Amino acid sequence: GENVEQHPSTLSVQEGDSAVIKCTYSDSASNYFPWYKQELGKGPQLIIDIRSNVGEKKDQRIAVTLNKTAKHFSLHITETQPEDSAVYFCAASKEGGSEKLVFGKGMKLTVNP
Q: Which residues of this protein are in contact with another protein, per CB under 8 A? A: 32, 34, 36, 41-46, 49, 89, 91, 93, 95-106
Which CB sits closer to another protein, 69 or 98?
Answer: 98
Which CB sits closer to another protein, 29 or 46?
Answer: 46
Which CB sits closer to another protein, 34 or 80?
Answer: 34
Residue 55 Cβ, how far from another protein at the closest point, in Å? 19
SS in 3 state form for 4-29?
EEEECCEEEEECCCCEEEEEEECCCC
3-state SS, residue 99: coil
Residue 47 Cβ, how far from another protein at the closest point, in Å? 11
Which CB sits closer to another protein, 15 or 95?
Answer: 95
Nearest Cα residue to 51 out of 90, 7, 88, 95: 95
Residue 4 Cβ, how far from another protein at the closest point, in Å? 10
3-state SS, residue 87: strand
3-state SS, residue 83: helix
Residue 101 Cβ, how far from another protein at the closest point, in Å? 6
d(C-alpha 35, C-alpha 84), whole Å: 14
